[in-house]
Structure 1
Amino acid sequence: MENSQLVAIIKRLDAMSNNEGNEVSSRRFEKDGEERGFVTFDPATKTYTLEEIASKQKFEFDDIDLAAMEIYDLLND
Structure 2
Amino acid sequence: MKPSQLIPIIRRLDAMREDESDEIQVRRFEKDGKEQCIVRYDKSSRMYELEDRTSGQTYEFDNIDYVAVEILELVQPASSTED
What TM-score comes out, normalization by structure 2 length? Answer: 0.87
> Residue 55 of structure 1 aligns to a residue in which SS?
coil
Give identity over the alignment, percent.
Answer: 48
Q: Counterparts of 1:11 and 1:31 in 2: how far apart (Å)?
A: 18
RMSD, matched Cα: 1.1
Structure 1 stretches (4+) deviating beyond 2 angstroms? Answer: none
Question: What are the ranges of 5 or more consecutive residues in structure 1 without an aligned counterpart?
Answer: none
**Counterpart in 1 of 2:70?**
70
Q: Structure 1, residues 41-66: CA drift from partner, whole Å, max 9, x if none?
A: 00000000000001110000000000
What is the match of residue 24 of structure 2? 24
Consecutive unaligned residues of structure 2, counting only runs of 5 or more, are 79-83
Q: State the match for 1:40 in structure 2.
A: 40
Q: Distance in 2 between matches of 1:54 and 1:21?
A: 30
| Distance in 2 of aligned mates of 1:41 and 1:16 | 6
For residues 73 and 55 of structure 1, what CA distance do their matches in structure 2 show?
13
Structure 1 counterpart SS, 2:6: helix
TM-score, normalization: structure 1? 0.93
Larger radius of gyration: 2
